[in-house]
Amino acid sequence: MIDHTNGSTSVQVVACLDRMGRSALPAAPRVQAALARTDRRGDGGSWGRGAARDEELLRTGRAVLARFPDLTGPAPAPPPQGR
């Protein structure tokens, strides 16, 4: 789903969830967790390009979560690294 080690696919996945509208509710906790991470990575390209992708991920992820104002509670822990 949202792979914190691959910024390119994360942006694409969150964009797809954005297009899904309210049907993306089951993925909302994963979006919350992805946005809460401090170690999100770019696409492996230049720093500026990675930062731009990160900003896109944040912007689109927030748009997804805005559809679910009653979603409360802490974000789930991220999956273990190295898997």
In a domain, 75, yes or no: no
In a domain, 72, yes or no: no
The pLDDT of residue 16 is: 96
Cα separation values, 77 from 31, 33, 49, 54, 56, Å: 12, 7, 27, 20, 22
The pLDDT of residue 61 is: 93
- Structure tokens that stand for 37 in this block: 């991470």
Total structural domains within the chain: 1
Would you give per-residue pLDDT tens digits along the chain (83 residues)? Answer: 676 666 668 889 999 999 999 999 999 999 998 888 877 665 455 556 678 888 888 999 999 999 998 876 555 555 566 65
The pTM (predicted TM-score) of the whole model is 0.72
In a domain, 58, yes or no: yes
Q: Is the CB of residue 31 less than 8 Å from the CB of residue 65?
A: yes
In a domain, 54, yes or no: yes
The pLDDT of residue 23 is: 94
The pLDDT of residue 1 is: 61
For residue 39, what are the domain limits? Answer: 7-66
